[in-house]
Structure formats: structure tokens, C-alpha cells
Structure 1
Amino acid sequence: MSAILGPIHHWLFRKIKIQNDLTNAVIAAAKEKELNVALLADIDEKFGSLPEGDLGNIIDPTNIHGWLQDKIAIVERRLAYVTKTLTKDNPDAIGVICDCARAFGVKNAVESNAAPTEGFEYYENTFVSGMPCDGVNMIVNEDSDEIMWQETVDIHKQYWDEVGADVSLFYEIRNAMIEGVFENSDLAYYNLGNGLYKLVKE
């Protein structure tokens, strides 16, 4: 990959930061609900953390692709670890996490009058789905009233497996956030199962 930063790199790093912000919001919500967050004190030591600052000043210009891939791994593992830790002795904690994710989605909502194609573009601009070259989300149907897409690969499972967390919890959390993103829009969001999703103009 070229050592020249382009818009796609800023686009991807913005999505990485959004997932990191979600994880931080979950930790804050868990603390507020008096869940056991003490066990999360070692999260930075275990999995690293995102550096702060402008991307151009913090990225490794000799390994842009590898640097970004590493940061994806960090935010994926952090969310997995937080979820595993909070739910280990308290399965009901997933409800707190999903409520937080839904509220986080509302705070990061799509424009209320977005068309289905704009809604999908917003989805792609917001949620981490691996590297752009992974081509995870494939549109399978599109018209003025609806857009449907298929996840071609489970890009998240490898990280959750590494942490020893159940990846099905990731999809519960992400689904809650997606619901929040589209809650106050003219688009109805449907999770059809087996990695198939659609947005329909109401």
C-alpha cells in the first residue's frame, strides 16, 4: 500500500474511533449501573488502546495498512473483553450493554430523511467491517424504497474467539446500535438472519 494517507484511511480510522467510543460508553454505563468494572482495569495492558491525535501524526507512514489493521484488532478485542467480563457472572449485563449501544446509536443517528441507499452508506461509514479490501458487505437488492445487503464473511469472530468471548453477543450489541442509528429516521431496519439485512423506506 502507498505510504500516502488518503481519504479512505481517515474514513476507516473514524470508524475505528466510533467503535472505541462505544466500548468506552459501555464501560461508563456499566459503572453507572454498579456492575463489576474493576476487572476491566487491565484492559489497556492486555489489548492496547487507541492513540490520540490527528491520524497523520500518529500513523506509521511506512506501514499504513498494517497500522490500521492493528487498530481494528484493538477495538474489536476491547469490546469483546468488556462484554465477556461484564457478562461472565452476570448474564443479564448484556441488557445493560445493548441499552447503551442503542442509546449510542441514537446519538450517532442517520439523517431522519435519508433514503435507503443513503442509510446503507451511513451504515458503511459508521460500523467497522474489517478493512475495505475485505469487501464484507455486498448489496443484493436495491431500489428507491429498499436496500438489502449480505455480510459475506464473519469478520469479527476471530477477535472474539481470541478473547474467549461469544461472538453472538457482538451481533446483539451491534444490532442494538443499528436500531438506535435508524430509530428516528424514515427507514425501517430489518435483521433477516444469516448475515442478511435491509433498510426499507417507511
Structure 2
Amino acid sequence: MKYLKLFGVFLLLASCSTTQLVENWKNPDIDIYNPSKILIVGVTSNLEAREQFENKLKAEYESRGIEAVTGLEQFEASFTSEKQSEEELKRLENNLIADGFDTILFTKVIGVEDKISYRNDYHQYDNTYRRFSEDYLKYQDAFYNPEYYNEYTVYHAETSMYCICPTKDRELIWKGYIDIIDPESVKETVNDYVRLVMVVLEEQQLTNPKPLIDETNTEAIK
């Protein structure tokens, strides 16, 4: 049954149109973790994207009965663009603990790549029967024919979950590496990314599952 569940999760992740989970790591000392109050921080110079991202994650956590606060609500917008010292961050953590926070979910872009993908079906040659001349003719214009290849951009992102429990030092609970592939819409990309993160965190038992909502119109029944 567990393998069927994992297979279903992988199918769900594969269906995301702009995001792909590359790798993730869970602290082996933690089996189940349920945040009670979480701070959501996204680091990007695109304020619109950051606001949508943090608010979308906040809504997901609140729908699971978990109190969530965005970085834009907690700090000035310039906080993530200004250099912070270790002492300042430690003081920040102490203030968050005093305010009842126990978890930070921190997301950032760690790299950008421009890529080229070559079409396998160019000229629709029969791959089962090909002479040298046919092969050469097919690929000779690969470097200058725009119909042969597609150029796109991949953003490498990282999301980390930290415990800021008062009885221990800041502890990494989970880290996920996610590729954002050729994004065209901020809203679509944010939705895909948040959906993927929450699916993985649920599977890893690092957040409460989303309760089923009975959408039946009770007034109509009456």
C-alpha cells in the first residue's frame, strides 16, 4: 500500500507544468513534525511574485489549521535585500520564539540556467532505418535552424524548513531542491511550486494533511 501511495505522489508531482522536484532531504531524527505557528519567507527581488508566493503558502497552512505569517507581514519588504549579521538573525529568532513561532519555511532561488532542447522528431525521419547521409542531413543545420531547437530558462530554487524551538539550536528539518522551468506566468508558477511543496511535506509527514471539505449545499438539502 505504501508503494502505491508513493507512486501516486510521484505521478502528482510529475503533472506540475512549471516545477519539478529534483531532490529532497528529511532529517532522519524526525518522523513526524506538525508546526503550530510558521513564518513563511521568500527571497526574490520580484515583490509581486514574493507576495503571491508567501500568501499562497499562508493560505495552504491555514487551511490545515496551522497559524502562518508571511515575511512581508512580519518585516519590512527591504529586510531580505539588506545584509543581516549573525547577531541580528539570532535576535530575530528569539523574538519569533517569544511571539510563539516554532517554524520557518525559507525559499530562495540559488541559480539560473539558459538551456537548449533539440527536437527528436526533426524532419520526422524514421529512426529505425537511417544511412549516414540521412543522419547527416537531418542534423547538419542543428546550430542555426530555429525549428530544430527550443531555448528556455530553468530557475533552481531551494525551500528549507527550520525548527526554532527554544530548547534547541536552529535545526534543519527538511530541504527540497526544485526546478522552475521556463516560467511564463507568476500566478501559475506560484501555484505549481506551492502545490508541489505541500504534497511533499504531507508525504514526509511534516505538516498536517488538508482536511476534506464537504462542499454539499446543506441549505439545499433542507
> Fold conserved (TM > 0.5)?
no
Please give the TM-score of this superposition, normalised by the length of structure 2.
0.23
* Greater share of residues in strand: 2
Larger gyration radius, structure 1 or structure 2: 2
The answer to which structure, 1 or 2, has the higher relative contact order (CA under 8 A, 6+ apart) is: 2
What TM-score, normalized by structure 1, do the two folds share?
A: 0.25
Structure with the bigger percentage of helix:
1
